């Protein structure tokens, strides 16, 4: 039996737009099923809307085997509740495999301390936005898979399915070490370089989720609070920003989900299970296979 909820809150953090697409897709699916939702963007610090909800659906991108620090701060600033149900959905580039499996542990612990009852957790996979893109045709297939997985999660939530993961112990260690990324991100962001051809349009300052960019003399300047989300680097309309350090984190060809979704690869028709993807992308293949088994064939 499907429940309908009249007071769902979807709260999400997103840097380069993948988690935002997932959150908005949730909103559409839930509203189509007759539910009423509010949606809140997490930037930093305090929740802008502390009104009661049931359930809370929290979404975030995986950053160094964790939630971004802004998400932890947001949870810490929530009011106490009495056993409000919650779902925690992480969005990663590599999937629910080592070293990612403990990425929701910190946020679930914090929500539990605040009185939430986390009944459901799951990983969504989107095209990776850092270090290296997944090999073709995985990014395109991931975009195709998004509505399928959102549809599955929506029907799980509305029919009361509980889903709890068992993180690997080694990933708890990775996750603890990954928390150092917050400090590393502050250092990295302060050193982002502005190139000569910056037009001073202000897009980066207007879209930085951390409010870390200010326009001084028509040029952006970067503060100490960077979330390491990469939005300004990929999103600058003039491609006028580059990292001053650790350049390898940025994909040189850029990152645009709309382009990925609109450009079907030229590969011959190969079912997902037969794709040769390399060790680092086995989690992505596993994810796509799990979805194509249940619903449609995700081969090209």
Ligand X SMILES: Cc1cc2nc3c(=O)[nH]c(=O)nc-3n(C[C@H](O)[C@H](O)[C@H](O)COP(=O)(O)O)c2cc1C
Q: How far apart are CA 197 and CA 146, in angstroms?
A: 36
Least separation, in Å, of the C-beta of 63 and ligand X? Answer: 4
CB 100 within 8 A of CB 142: no
Q: How far apart are CA 271 and CA 193, in angstroms?
A: 43
- Secondary structure class of 32 (helix, strand, coil): helix
Check residue 232 for interaction with ligand SF4 (CB under 6 A): yes
Least separation, in Å, of the C-beta of 278 and ligand X? Answer: 15
Which residues of the shown chain bind ligand X in the complex (CB under 6 A)? 14-20, 61-65, 91-94, 100, 126, 128-130, 228-230
Report the run of H or E that residue 157 belongs to, with start and end. helix 138-158
> What residues contact residue 113 under an 8 Å CB cut-off, 6+ apart?
none
Indicate which of ligand X, ligand SF4, none lies near residue 254 (CB less than 5 to 8 Å, by partner kind). none
Indicate which of ligand X, ligand SF4, none lies near residue 107 (CB less than 5 to 8 Å, by partner kind). none
Facing residues of 122 across strands? 89
Q: Are strands 116-125 and 56-61 parallel, antiparallel or unpaired?
A: unpaired
Indicate which of ligand X, ligand SF4, none lies near residue 14 (CB less than 5 to 8 Å, by partner kind). ligand X
Give the per-residue contact string, 68-87, with ligand SF4 (x = CB under 6 A; - = no): --------------------
- Measure the N-to-C terminal CA separation of the chain; round to a whole number of Å: 34
Indicate which of ligand X, ligand SF4, none lies near residue 94 (CB less than 5 to 8 Å, by partner kind). ligand X
Q: Site residues for ligand SF4, window 241-300 (CB under 6 A)?
A: 241
Report the run of H or E that residue 285 belongs to, with start and end. helix 282-294
Q: Which of 12, 74, 174, 203 binds ligand SF4 (CB under 6 A)?
A: 203
Q: How far is CA 235 from CA 19, 140, 163, 240, 257, in A?
A: 16, 20, 35, 10, 11
Q: Which of 58, 150, 229, 291 binds ligand SF4 (CB under 6 A)?
A: 229
Binding site for ligand SF4 (CB under 6 A): 15, 189, 194, 198-204, 208-210, 212-213, 220, 222, 226-232, 236-238, 240-241
């Amino acid at each position: 039996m499907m429940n309908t909820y009249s007071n769902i809150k979807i709260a999400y953090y997103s840097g380069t737009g993948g988690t935002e697409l997932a959150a908005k897709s949730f909103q559409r699916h839930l509203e189509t099923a007759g539910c009423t939702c509010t949606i809140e963007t997490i930037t930093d610090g305090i929740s802008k809307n502390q009104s009661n909800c049931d359930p809370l659906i929290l979404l975030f991108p995986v950053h160094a085997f964790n939630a971004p620090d802004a998400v932890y701060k947001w949870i810490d600033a929530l009011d106490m509740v009495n056993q409000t149900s919650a779902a925690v959905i992480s969005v990663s580039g590599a999937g629910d495999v080592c070293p990612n499996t403990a990425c929701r542990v910190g946020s679930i612990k914090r929500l539990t301390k605040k009185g939430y009852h986390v009944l459901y957790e799951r990983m969504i996979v989107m095209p990776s936005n850092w270090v290296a893109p997944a090999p073709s045709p995985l990014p395109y297939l991931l975009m195709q898979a998004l509505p399928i997985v959102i549809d599955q999660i929506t029907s799980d939530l509305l029919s009361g399915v509980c889903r709890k993961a068992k993180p690997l112990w080694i990933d708890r260690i990775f996750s603890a070490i990954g928390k150092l990324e917050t400090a590393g991100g502050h250092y990295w962001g302060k050193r982002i370089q502005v190139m000569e051809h910056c037009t001073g349009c202000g897009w980066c300052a207007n879209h930085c989720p951390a409010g870390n960019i200010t326009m001084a003399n028509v040029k952006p300047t970067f503060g100490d609070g960077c979330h390491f989300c990469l939005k300004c680097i990929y999103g600058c309309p003039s491609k006028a920003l580059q990292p001053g350090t650790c350049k390898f984190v940025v994909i040189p060809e850029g990152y645009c989900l709309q382009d990925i979704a609109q450009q079907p690869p030229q590969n011959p028709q190969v079912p997902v299970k037969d794709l040769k993807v390399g060790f680092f992308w086995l989690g992505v293949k596993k994810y796509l296979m799990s979805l194509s088994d249940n619903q449609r064939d995700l081969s090209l």
